[in-house]
Amino acid sequence: MRTTSLKAINDTSFWDQRRNKIFSRKGGWKIGKAVLNHGYSMMDDLVGNVSYMQVMMLNSLGKLPDRRLADWMEAFHICLSWPDPRIWCNHIGALGAEMKVSAVAATSSGNMAMESRAYGSHTLIDGVNFIQNALKEYKSGVSVEELVKAASQRVGATPVITGYARPIAKGDERVGAMEKVTEELGFEIGEHLALAYKVEEYLNDHFSESMNINGYVSAFLSDIGFTAEQVYISCSTLVASGVTACYLDANARTPGSFLPLKCDDINYEGKEHRSVPEQTA
């Protein structure tokens, strides 16, 4: 059993060294000299020389990507920033306008709704883990059919694999758009993406399901060398632009006009109407 001595417990030297000090491995402002970001001078090296998406990825990954990859990532962000208020994160942005909160508060709240295991950037973790683990299995001799069956909850059931199928519509128009971007930017199909297409082919033949944008992006970025965490962090503001658009749309309309409800619209399943007991002295 491991024990901690009283002397070690009372040793505050680590905290004393950091008292009233802020440490950073990322960068900082040297007043009158430079603003540093991961070893680059923001004003001299980055401003006017690289894109905003390159800087975003620099801050997410700790290294500056080339413009080609940043342009690809920017296209993916555009694919996920739909100004449709029916989408839950955008819905929250519109409701923020109804409550007369600021654009920043509404956009931040809507972006936080993306932190879901059903949609948004968090699902990319599962998507990346699936295709990276699947490739290891595939290289060891496991067939695509076996990979898919391993994801099935019961025999004959449609497999539930993050990155494939959609809950509402068949197909995913965003995949075609990103395939075009990938080709135009000169990227080749790597082994993760090649396997993703094989999985899609099997699912299409047996279950009429196809790869969605999560599956495509997870495989592509795996070929680039991203980890699941790096993909997730790089996409932490993925839907923000669409949320802002829906906030502005609702903010310009009559207050209370976004998806108004009557009491009859609520399916109440609680206790029947009850009288409030009289208070006694």
Confidence of residue 135 (pLDDT cuts 50, 70, 90): very high
Is 152 strand, coil or helix?
coil
Of 275 and 111, more confident: 111
Higher model confidence: residue 158 or residue 141?
141
- Block residue for tokens 């440490």: 23
Residue 43 is classified by DSSP as I
Residue 154 has pLDDT above 70, yes or no: no
Per-residue pLDDT, 121:
84
* pTM (2 d.p.): 0.87
> Is there a domain that residue 134 lies in?
yes
Per the structure, the complete domain to which residue 126 belongs is given by 121-235
Number of domains in the chain: 1
d(CA 218, CA 228): 8
The CATH code of the domain that includes 158 is: 1.10.230.10
